[in-house]
Amino acid sequence: MKPPPFAYHRASSLDEALSLAEEAGEDAKFIAGGQSLMPLLALRMSRPSHLVDINRLPGLGGVRIEDGGLRVGALVRHATLERCPELDGPWRALREAAGLIGHYPIRLRGTFGGSLAHADPSSELPVVSTALRATLVARSLSGEREIPVSELFAGPLMTVLEQGELLVEARFPAPDPQTRSVFEEFSPRAGDFAFASAAVVLATDGDGRVRHAHIALGGVAAVPVRAREAEVALEGKALTGGVAMEAARIAAASCDPSGDAHASPAYRKELVAVLVERALTRLREER
């Protein structure tokens, strides 16, 4: 099916992009990689009257460590994240998740900001950003505001971004010493949407005991969710196989996924237990 007709504008600066979106009104959409938007247009699930191309905007394509924290521009491509040497240790989950998005041609075009703004419940980067407690920076003609990732997602394919507002950057706080992160997901084939996913961030002390843990789950609710009871179960304990298994069981018990033609609720719960235990086992064995 062909997309509906629309006007196309290519912006050369952030101010121009925001002005074009403001002038076009509520039916305008920003487009960068287009890997999510174009299929929606083809299926007539989205009918914008204007598309504002932001691919040429300067300053939104960088990944850098600053004051111990991480800053990722909205136009950073998935393939860049996948190959980024800075994304190790506390940030490794970002690199691992990016490498699992679709297929390589998709990762060459798809953008970090686009993935978050699209807000697909099974998407990888919203889950990792939730575990890493990102703060998203949004710009509009009215100014700039910061949105905690826990407040960004309003439902499937919905965010709290307002009309004419554009995500420009994600800021991840400086991690505690000895913090590491990993990402796990299950899909029937490489490149398919995941039935469930888990991002685990773990900080340990000198004796190997867990100081704090952040566990985010994808594909089991309308938005990424934190497995907070499982996080509490890990705190203060040495990460043994038994502790990992119990935390995984708690994570699975705490979520309430829906079923569909691909996976039942019980199956998704079992996947959560397997994925969380697998992530914790990797962190234990690699310490």
Give residue 108's domain range: 63-172
58 part of a folded domain: no
As given in the structure block, the two tokens for residue 81 are 């994240």
Residues 277, 183 share a domain: yes
Residues 98, 139 share a domain: yes
From 128, 156, 172, the end of a domain falls on: 172
Residues 187, 143 share a domain: no
- When divided into structural domains, the chain yields a total of 3
162 part of a folded domain: yes
2 part of a folded domain: no
pLDDT of residue 27: 83
Q: What are phi and psi of 61, to 5 degrees?
A: -115, 20
CATH of the domain at 76: 3.30.465.10
From 128, 151, 172, the end of a domain falls on: 172
276 part of a folded domain: yes
Residues 41, 119 share a domain: no
Residues 267, 192 share a domain: yes
Residues 68, 168 share a domain: yes
Residues 102, 25 share a domain: no
pLDDT of residue 36: 83
The C-alpha atoms of residue 228 and residue 278 are separated, in whole angstroms, by 18
Q: Residue 33 region, left (φ>0) first, then alpha (ψ -120 to 50), else beta?
A: alpha
Burial code of 244-273, b = ≥16 C-beta within 10 A, e = fewer? Answer: bebbbbbbbebbebeeeeebeeeebbebbb
Dihedral sign, CA of 154, 159, 163, 165? positive
281 part of a folded domain: yes
Residues 84, 25 share a domain: no
Residues 197, 167 share a domain: no
C-beta atoms surrounding 95 within 10 Å: 19
Contact 75, 33 (CB under 8 A): no
pLDDT of residue 44: 76
- pLDDT, one tens digit for every residue, the chain (287 residues): 678 888 889 999 999 999 999 998 888 889 998 888 877 777 777 788 889 999 999 999 999 999 999 999 999 999 999 999 999 999 999 999 999 999 999 999 999 999 999 999 899 999 999 999 999 999 999 999 999 999 999 999 999 999 999 999 999 999 999 999 999 999 998 888 899 999 999 999 988 899 999 999 999 999 999 999 999 999 999 999 999 999 999 999 999 999 888 899 999 999 999 999 999 999 999 87
Contact 170, 130 (CB under 8 A): no
Q: What are phi and psi of 200, to 5 degrees?
A: -125, 130
Residues 210, 118 share a domain: no
Residues 196, 146 share a domain: no
The C-alpha atoms of residue 107 and residue 33 are separated, in whole angstroms, by 9
201 part of a folded domain: yes
Contact 6, 40 (CB under 8 A): no
β-pair partners for 135: 148, 171
Amino acid identity, residue 175? P
1 part of a folded domain: no
236 part of a folded domain: yes
Contact 166, 139 (CB under 8 A): yes
Q: What are phi and psi of 111, to 5 degrees?
A: -115, 155
Residues 166, 90 share a domain: yes
CATH of the domain at 33: 3.30.43.10
CATH of the domain at 266: 3.30.390.50
